Structure 1
Amino acid sequence: MVKKNLDPSNSSLNMDQLRASLSALIPDPKQSSNFAATLNFTNCVLGAGIIGTGGAIASSGFTISIFTLVLCALLTRISLDMIIRLGDTRNGANFEKLGELAFGNLGKKIVGGAKFLYSFGCCCAYIVVIRKNLGSGLINISSCSTSLCKSVFNDEVFCTIVCLTLVLPLSLKRNLDSLSRFSFISVCCVVLIASIVFSEFLDRDPLTYSDNTLYFEVRSGYISSLGTFVFAFVSQHTHNGIYSSMKNQTPKDWEQVSLYSITIACTVTVLTGSFAYLTFGLETTSDLFTVYHESVQVDLAEILLSFTMIFTFPMPFYTCRALVGEWFFSVQEVGGGEFEVEDMEEALLKAEGGGEEEEVEEAKLSNFQWTVTSLGLFAVSLTIALTAPNLGAVLDFVGCASGSAIAFILPAAIFVKLENHWTPKVVVMAIVGAFVGIVGTGFAVANIIFPSD
């Protein structure tokens, strides 16, 4: 750091001038109100899990599934708030930096790797949802049966067109706050989808299973479905970006955002999964709308779901791009194109430093790096999604293998290492995370290799 050589009489004036000058070089990244941040974060949490949950409930059992969903939501919120509080007491350290403070460079790499794997898995899952629903929904609602319509709205072809014309442009944006209006649309779409699932439940005859079988049976697919339950709420891969975009970056403000976002996500996910299961019972699948009979309502739900995925995709994609930028270009992006100066005082002193002319370097990817990284990641995720067998397999594996790590295991380990003590909440997080990560992943992989009927 450059030493201070300021005359006390004009120190305040000089610092004010330097701050004003530096603001031209370093624009303030704190733009989102708490409401906008809540919309963005709710959009991050509400992903493909909203339709995969019904199939997971059918494989697991009703009561045990609802309990697990609520538990995962509660533990996820505790974990999110814990990471923000730990970072706030350590100069605003993000998740990766906390891993480095706790376990050195290896800890940073493990956190970054887990975040990347989970974020990339989300990107693939969202495109799978678009591929499975948008083309079929549009062709059914338009009642177009010509060979041209069938060719244009082919799942893979139409998904590729939509991803290139809508998803990619949104993913190239640098500012998260600019997506808040799309997040609002996405959240509204999810609410409408939940309403359609509920209306379909009311329109169908009640299931004929006995009460014990329908509500209280614990089925053999429970362990392998844990990944889907975890996947429904894991958002530690995006929350630092959302937090860095807030005007008021305090743990108290963040806790309001996390409370409202997780509560909305839990309510919508539980209701959608429950009513889907109570409509179809054991026939409910992870690709939910494939089990419904064709109707305008169902076709509309497929279209709305696809648009939700389109507007949600940029959030985890930002995280993937930021991590790749850090690994390959030694640049740390914050919140999708926003950059941070870890020590503003140090930057100001460098700017005022006597004869040493040191430029304040903007910690962001160049336009070329941004574009190349984005196109590369997008091409790989699109290719994988177009060949993935089904959504359930993706959700179970991603949720167990990487979701449990970034949501429960790593936050618990970092807390214990930095704070040097255990709490009951941390113990529960560690136990749940270890069980899901080890046992759940094993069952998820077994189901992929040896799929059951």
Structure 2
Amino acid sequence: MFYMEIKQWSFNNRLTLEQCFNNKYFSFSLHFFEQHPGHASFGMSVFNLSNAIMGSGILGLSFAMANTGIVLFTVLLVGVAILSLYSVHLLLVTAKEGGSLIYEKLGERAFGWPGKMAAFGSIIMQNIGAMSSYLFIVKYELPEVIRAFLGLEENSGEWYMNGNYLVVFVSIGVILPLSLLKNLGYLGYTSGFSLSCMVFFLGVMIYKKTQLPCPLPFFFHHSTNLSMNGSDMHTAYTIPILAFAFVCHPEVLPIYSELKDRSRKKMQNVSNLSILAMLIMYMLSALFGYLTFYENVEAELLHTFTKVYKFDTMLLLVRLAVLTAVTLTVPIVLFPVSTSYVSTLRPQTCTTLVIINTWVLLVRPFSIH
């Protein structure tokens, strides 16, 4: 069918088949990206969207609750979740009215070339920024995990303790092969495993809450007020944490395009279930982290635990699980970047796409300080 489409197109435009394959291959790829039937099941789509929602911000939710109080934090988090659901609904309506599942085409049909480039730039900046935060965690946390497993008191300076080398190895060995998969549905398995790692993190955190004494002997003061902590300048730090808690919009349409027997109602159900599941996980994570350390909780929850447990096997497994989850989130985030690049710049060969993915993965980590 694909060959016949190209042959008919070449006849109508008086071009050879070779010219069509060399110069218009990605135009047809975009056509079939929108028109081909999806193969990802409902469950796999939920895994992918949930993985796109859950990022490194879950480690800072306890800090956000400590600076706002349980009541205000709950109101803000539920409010952001509702706004995210409504914005996804508007996005699906826009895709239907615009007749496209590609952001750049929607922008072009609405505002012409400036709209197309605005959509392209927004997706590139947002997703590369998110990916940089994930690679930042890998760069600085993985050497510490290796050091702890080896029982070293401090970093010995070996190459396998260098974060720059480790993030390159992880990018080439894990992230790049997954990023080159032709269809987002295949990433449902890795997304499911990533979510399992975060569920393990949550379970261990709840278990540790029951094991630690209260109050902790490692901290001298803590507030006994569980509902409100009083607003101060640190409350402003919670705004970006909560604002980006449910950001998944660049991945919505790619996941929609891969959904089997897709419909707007079915994709809305995928979004509803994903955001609800993440809302529950966010609330439990923030609540138990806060009730364990109260106002002594740090911006990165795992760092607070390391003050109590210097060499704890279960805590090391949790840190490794979080690193695994963060690593497996990067291919989901990178997929819309690749799609935007193809739809906007129309590379002539797939090799160009491989090169741009490799460049993004390898250059960005070294620019993070």
Q: Provide TM-score, normalisation by structure 2.
A: 0.81
Structure 1 residues 76, 26: closer, same or farther in 2, change over 3 A?
A: closer
* Counterpart for residue 425 of structure 1: none
Deviations 1:175-225 (A, max 9, x none): 211111111101111111111111222222335644447634223222343
CA distance in 1, matches of 2:235, 2:118: 28
Is residue 330 from structure 1 mapped to residue 346 from structure 2 by the alignment?
yes
* Counterpart for residue 335 of structure 1: none
CA distance in 2, matches of 1:315, 1:40: 7
Is residue 263 from structure 1 mapped to residue 276 from structure 2 by the alignment?
yes
TM-superposed CA distance for 1:318, in Å, is: 1.4
Identity over aligned pairs, percent? 21
Structure 1 residues 147, 36: closer, same or farther in 2, change over 3 A?
A: closer
CA distance in 1, matches of 2:83, 2:143: 37
Structure 2 letter corresponding to 1:303: L
Where relative contact order (Cα < 8 A, 6+ residues apart) is larger, the structure is 2
* 2:258 aligned to which of 239, 245, 248: 245
Is residue 201 from structure 1 mapped to residue 209 from structure 2 by the alignment?
yes
Structure 2 letter corresponding to 1:171: S
* Counterpart for residue 319 of structure 2: 302
CA distance in 1, matches of 2:323, 2:168: 13
* Counterpart for residue 371 of structure 1: 354
Is residue 315 from structure 1 mapped to residue 332 from structure 2 by the alignment?
yes
* Counterpart for residue 112 of structure 2: 104
TM-superposed CA distance for 1:254, in Å, is: 0.4
* Counterpart for residue 3 of structure 2: none
* Counterpart for residue 95 of structure 2: 87
Which structure: greater helix fraction?
Answer: 2
Aligned-pair Cα RMSD in Å: 2.8
Segments of 5+ residues of structure 1 without an aligned counterpart are: 3-21, 332-364, 388-453
CA distance in 2, matches of 1:92, 1:324: 16
SS at match of 1:223: helix
CA distance in 2, matches of 1:64, 1:214: 8
Structure 2 letter corresponding to 1:288: L
CA distance in 2, matches of 1:286, 1:112: 32
* Counterpart for residue 230 of structure 1: 243
TM-superposed CA distance for 1:47, in Å, is: 1.1
Structure 1 residues 129, 97: closer, same or farther in 2, change over 3 A?
A: same
* Counterpart for residue 380 of structure 1: 363
Deviations 1:317-367 (A, max 9, x none): 11222223334x336xxxxxxxxxxxxxxxxxxxxxxxxxxxxxxxxx622
Aligned length: 332
CA distance in 2, matches of 1:240, 1:78: 15
Contact 1:60 1:220 in 2 (8 A): no
TM-superposed CA distance for 1:37, in Å, is: 0.7
TM-superposed CA distance for 1:146, in Å, is: 9.3
Deviations 1:116-146 (A, max 9, x none): 2110111001111222323322332343569
SS at match of 1:237: helix
Deviations 1:357-412 (A, max 9, x none): xxxxxxxx622111111112112322233x2xxxxxxxxxxxxxxxxxxxxxxxxx
CA distance in 2, matches of 1:321, 1:112: 11
Deviations 1:287-340 (A, max 9, x none): 22112123112111110000001111011111222223334x336xxxxxxxxx
Contact 1:61 1:216 in 2 (8 A): yes
* Counterpart for residue 13 of structure 2: none
SS at match of 1:225: helix
Segments of 5+ residues of structure 2 without an aligned counterpart are: 1-7, 9-27, 216-220
* Counterpart for residue 219 of structure 1: 232
